[in-house]
Amino acid sequence: MKNRKGTQQQAVTIAIVAVCLLLIASIWLIDVVLRLFRNPQDITAFIFDEREISENLVISIEEPESSETTTEHSSGLDSDSIPVMKADMGIPQGYKIIQKEQNSIHSTGNLLQLDNYHEFTGTVNMLTGFEQKNDKYRLRNMTLQVQAPVVNAMNELAEAYYQFSGRADLMIYSTTEIYASEGSLYPDILPDRSTGYCIDLAFLNDDGSISKITSANNGWLLENAYRFGFIFSYTESNQDTTGIVSAPYHLRYVGKVHANLMQTNHMDLNAYLNALQFYTIGNRYVYELQNASIYYVKAETSGMTNVPVPDGKNYDISGNNIDGYIICAYD
């Protein structure tokens, strides 16, 4: 009897365990089924969002296309350094930046516009004497001083005049001096004398006397001075714009490139400077006859101005005494 009861209890226990195992198996099976048919949208959305964020964080490192549109004109004129890459500021390759103080537009170079309406407010340094002059002209006194290029230019001019006339009677009467006293040959007060780029010429006669150069006897100079880099600052034709009467004895050195262009285009300095304002670094004026290019850079109203100049080549830079710089680059 006892054996039968024990056997029944054991069977019940086994059944309970079996039911539990069956329940566990059913739960596991249901979970597996649910996993197999579960919608995977959440995880794919996360992957997509992560990829999208990564792409948005990528910064392009491709070089930008150069915006340089340099134009060079060779037709008639119209009325201490920081390396710069080609695409920067529209500056062509082969150029660099120098910095100029704002006040230098009033004192730097040989193209300062100086007349009764534009006074000289700059400073002049590094004048030289005529120790290197040739024997084809004379000096009124040995204390006269000028900018160094004037000596070479005057040597060439006097040599050419001697070849033409057979005479060595040209005299430099004055340079930076102002002879306003009575009895002076040239008492006029001329604004550009103080720059050191000007000479007042006279004739030294055989008897030792000195004669004025006038509009009646300066024909050779009028026709040839530009060949050596000189212009006449004050003439009858520009008296209205300069406010100064004609001075046919007064020559100013501006360099051969500028003097030739002014002569060819029948311009005085005022008209020439106005015309050059249309020629910038990206639109340079090319003067093939002199292997030169010319352009204008507007100065900042205060502080320093970045001026592009040729890197490793010759150039001249001059303020215009108004608002900017003229750069002449040449081979």
Distance of CA 274 to the CA centre of its chain: 16
- Predicted pLDDT at 177: 81
Phi–psi pair at 293, nearest 5 degrees:
-130, 145
Output the CA–CA distances (angstroms, integers) from residue 140 to 83, 195, 217, 280, in the order listed: 47, 19, 20, 42
- Predicted pLDDT at 188: 87
| Plot region of 89 (φ>0 → left; ψ -120 to 50 → alpha; else → beta) | left
Q: For residue 236, what are the contacts with CB-CB under 8 A and spacing of at least 6?
A: 215, 246
Q: What is the pLDDT of residues 97-131, one digit of tens each?
A: 999 999 999 988 999 999 999 999 988 878 999 99
Low-confidence residues in the chain, pLDDT < 50: 1-2, 4-5, 33-34, 36-69, 80-88
Cα separation, 153 vs 322, in Å, equals 27
Of residues 126, 124, 131, 127, the one with CA closest to residue 155: 131
- The tokens for 324 are 């900017």
pLDDT above 90 as % of the chain: 64
Q: Which amino acid is at 114?
A: L
- Print burial letters for 218-243: b (CB count within 10 Å at least 16), e (below 16): beebeeebbebbbbbbbbeebeeebe
Rounded to two decimals, the pTM is 0.76
Task: State the first-to-last Cα distance of the chain, in angstroms, to the nearest integer.
Answer: 131
Distance of CA 82 to the CA centre of its chain: 13
Q: What is the pLDDT of residues 72-102, one digit of tens each?
A: 666 577 653 333 333 345 688 899 999 999 9
Q: Please name the helix (run of DSSP H) or strand (run of DSSP E) that holds residue 316, with its range, or none.
A: strand 314-319
> Are the CB atoms for 232 and 197 separated by under 8 Å?
no
Max Cα distance, the chain (Å): 173
